[in-house]
Amino acid sequence: MAKDLIVLCIDTGPSMGHITAGQAESPLSLSIKIATTMLQQKIFYPTKDEFALVLFGTRETANDLADDDGNYANISIVQKFSQPDLPLLQYLLEEVKHSDISSDFIDALIVSLDLFQKCSGRINEKKIYMFTDAGCPFDDQDQLDQVLTGLNKHSIDLTIIGPDLSPSHDSAMNGSDYHPGDGDNKPGKMVHKSKAQRAGEEILQRIISQGDFASFSFSEALKALTHIKKTQLRQTTVFRGDIEIGPDYKIPTYGYLRVKENKVSSWKKLSAISQCSTNPGSMEVTLARTHHLGDEEQTEISKDQMVKGFRFGKNLIPFASYDLSSTAEPHLKCLQVIGFSRCEFIKRHHFIGDSIVTFVPPVTEGSQAFSSFAQALYEMNCTAIVRYCFRKNANPKLGCLYPHIRPDYTELLFFQLPYAEDIREFTFASLNESEHSQEEIESMDDFLDSMDLSEAFIDPTGDRCEAFEPKYVPNPHIHRMFQCTSHRALNKDSDLPKLDPLINDYLNPTFPGRTNVKNCLEMIQNLCPLIEIGDKKTKKANIFKKDIETGAAPVSEELIENMDIDEALSSDVSKVGSINPVKDFEELSKKHGMFRLACEQMQECIISLIKESFSDQNYPKAISCIESYREVCVKFKQPAMLNKFLQSFRNKIIGSSDNPRDQRHQAFLTLLVKEDITLISKNECDCDVTLEEARLFLQTLHSISTEVDAKNETQDDEVDDLLENM
């Protein structure tokens, strides 16, 4: 690949360090800022371009043309041609200082020309950027002719950055000294120029006028470099073939990428341990990946022991390598016309893909047929529907060819179209236009007109033109990455800089002539007010706001913060379970029409806890269930449910005193009496049970448990006697 050779020739003489009126920085500071920006952009987008650095006006002399007679003195070649790197940037920022010695800028040009004599290889362009304020001395006419001859002979582009050398500038000033403002809104100021600067500018103007060279002032150069310029790509084709119109008619064509997203280089993982070492090296981390089985030994397997699989439902269907090769049908490279369609039938929202390809005719006899084909499509307002496969065995694409005709060239632009599976059909309710008044529609029309970008920008000549043209709008992400990366490379310990004002202007645009935008917005807000509608939360979403009791005040925020997860999920209870029966029962009983069912399930849970208890393990839980059952019945004024259950409770647990069915849980009756859990009486709730009857119930339970204990003791004594007799 061919490379560019670039020489940065910077003046470091006395005049370069002076800050004159109307300038915020010295010429040398501006020169270093411009040169470092150029190098940073080349480093950010790596290329094979090579830079050389030449300083003139230095105390020392370091170049191959210098001799003992003082020729080419005070000119130093800091670096010969090599790819730009971080040390060169740091040298420019830290080591380049102005001196009190002047040097001939024509001699500096000759030294720069001499650097090209010793270069070989494939060279694309040769460039010299000379930074000077023309305040240094210069040699006679013979040296100047030698420079012009060398520049033209070797096809070297010379760009002078410093004073404004444009003819219009001189004629406008009529020979007076003038310095333009640094910004668009800053007025220019009169400055004083020395006699040497006037003479130096005349020589530089002669160089510009006698060759196809360019010149920029410091402010113009800085403004031109605010946009990050991506490395110029080689004009390589992505397709070379024929446009096939039927089986017998083919038009040769070349395809180039017209638009493709430019992405920033990916991040690299570095080793922090290497960074702290004395010899960090590249610090790059190598990623190694191995595959292991899910057994206890974590057996490692190689790639040849693996096979790919496609998920089919819950199963993985294995596909061997020969199966994978047979799944893809072979495709030949082609650009076949399937048919034609009018442009209005191809919707712009159907354009897909990450790039746009332009097809142009090669320089052959087929260019006339290509032009006729494109002209016919343009005149009939049609587009060609094509099958495009850019190389053999690539996935074919469905697309369309749009004609794009200009006075100096003709091309066909390819846009990829979706297949049926790519289109997502959504049904949306339509708006009723009759509901909008004419005033509302006109206010929106005025707003759209005020935001029109086609004439929103005013150029330096005062003419209105389009704002935000893509070719002039930089990518904010790339620009910010460039800004931060360059700053971090040169300032390792300082904070990252603020957003560049240029990018900030693109993110927060303000244009002249758009002062009525605010008025239009206020009018729309008055005519079409936006009413905030609260979220329609489901019952599950309102469990934290639900009242604890029917008719009670809402739950406080403090109570919500202290609520546990069991309480939050209690609204989904549909059955009294054995894990947390008390909370399940209390929550289920609150639901409308569920009280009787909750009581029945609570009774079953209590009986189950007692009968399935190993010894007295479940007794405390059963007691808490009965207490909760009693409280809820009193609360809902349903004492009959509990009283009826307790009256039959002793028979369900141990049976009657005459015919005991199960005497293993008589200890639970003792615990029930001990906890003083009895029937609900008239003193607690409106019912038929008196306080005496409730007390009698406890006495009955106590007597039953006593009789059972006595019988058990008698049986134990008889067993002991029998064992003694044996």
**Cβ–Cβ under 8 Å, residues 215 and 203:** no
Element (H, E) at 567: helix 565-568
What's the pLDDT score for residue 489?
A: 87
The pLDDT tens digits of the residues spanning 34-44 come to 999 889 888 88
Top pLDDT among 541 and 29 is at 29
Residues 467, 571: Cα–Cα separation, whole Å: 58
Distance CA 265, CA 263 (A): 6
The pLDDT assigned to 231 comes to: 61
Specify the pLDDT at position 352: 93
Q: When comparing pLDDT for 174 and 240, which is higher?
A: 240
Decide yes or no: CATH 1.25.40.240 for domain 573-720.
Answer: yes
pLDDT band at 366; cut points 50, 70, 90:
confident
**Across 139-157, average pLDDT:** 80
pLDDT band at 172 (very low <50, low <70, confident <90, very high): very low
pLDDT at 707 (0 to 100)? 62
In this predicted structure, what is the pLDDT of residue 414? 97
Q: Same fold for the domain at 437-527 and the one at 573-720?
A: no
DSSP letters spanning 92-104: HHHT----S----
Token reading at 674: 């001990």
Answer whether residue 410 shows pLDDT above 60: yes
Task: Please check whether residue 383 is in contact with residue 346, taking contact to mean a CB–CB distance below 8 angstroms.
Answer: yes
DSSP state, 1? -
Q: Average pLDDT, stretch 446-471?
A: 82
Q: Given 3.40.309.10, 3.40.190.10, 3.40.50.300, 3.40.50.410, which CATH number is that of 3-224?
A: 3.40.50.410
Residue 141: what residue type? Answer: Q
Residue 260 contacts residue 355 (beta carbons within 8 Å): yes
Mean pLDDT confidence for 432-461:
82
- Tens digits of per-residue pLDDT, 203-256? 888 888 877 788 888 888 887 777 676 666 778 899 999 999 988 899 999 999
Whether the Cβ atoms of residue 338 and residue 387 lie closer than 8 Å to each other: yes
pTM of the model: 0.61
Contact (Cβ atoms closer than 8 angstroms) between residue 636 and residue 628: no
Taking 90 as the threshold, does the pLDDT of residue 659 lie above it?
Answer: no
pLDDT score of 666 more than 80: no
Q: Summarize pLDDT for 58-112 with one digit per residue, the tens.
A: 989 999 888 888 888 899 999 999 999 999 999 999 899 888 888 888 888 899 9
What is the C-alpha to C-alpha distance for residues 105 and 30, in angstroms, rounded to an integer? 18
pLDDT at 390: 93
3-state secondary structure 658-702: CCECCCCCHHHHHHHHHCCCCCCCCCCCCCCCCHHHHHHHHHHHH
Q: Which pair of tokens denotes residue 227?
A: 């946009």
pLDDT value at residue 249: 92
pLDDT per residue over 477-528, tens digit each? 888 888 888 888 888 888 888 888 777 877 777 665 566 788 888 888 888 8
**Residues of the chain with pLDDT > 70: what percent?**
82
- Domain range annotation of the chain: 3-224, 337-422, 437-527, 573-720
* Residue 179 predicted with pLDDT over 80: no
- pLDDT score, position 287: 84
Maximal C-alpha separation, the chain: 147
Both structure tokens of 532: 């905030």
360-383 mean pLDDT: 90
Query: How far apart, in whole angstroms, are the C-alpha atoms of residue 646 and residue 671?
Result: 14
Segment (H or E) for 141: helix 141-153
d(CA 628, CA 370): 91
Higher pLDDT pick, 722 / 300: 300
Q: Is 277's pLDDT higher than 80?
A: no
The topology (CATH level 3) of 337-422 is Ku70; Chain: A; Domain 2 (2.40.290)
What does the alpha-carbon distance between residue 645 and residue 625 come to, in Å, rounded to a whole number?
A: 13
The average pLDDT across 711-719 equals 49
The mean predicted confidence, pLDDT, of the chain is 80
Does position 679 have pLDDT exceeding 80, yes or no? yes
pLDDT higher for 674 or 705? Answer: 674
Strands 50-56 and 3-11: parallel
Q: Residue 253 forms beta bridges with which residues?
A: 241
Confidence band, pLDDT 50/70/90 cuts, at residue 187: very low
CB 464, CB 457: distance < 8 Å? yes
Given this model, what pLDDT does residue 710 score? 54
Q: What is the dihedral of CA 95, 98, 102, 103, to 10 degrees?
A: 40
**pLDDT band, residue 687 (cuts 50/70/90):** confident
Name the residue with higher pLDDT: 392 or 537: 392
Is 553 a residue whose pLDDT tops 60?
Answer: no
| pLDDT score of 674 | 83
Query: CATH code for 437-527?
Result: 1.10.1600.10
The pLDDT-based confidence of 645 (bands split at 50, 70, 90) is confident
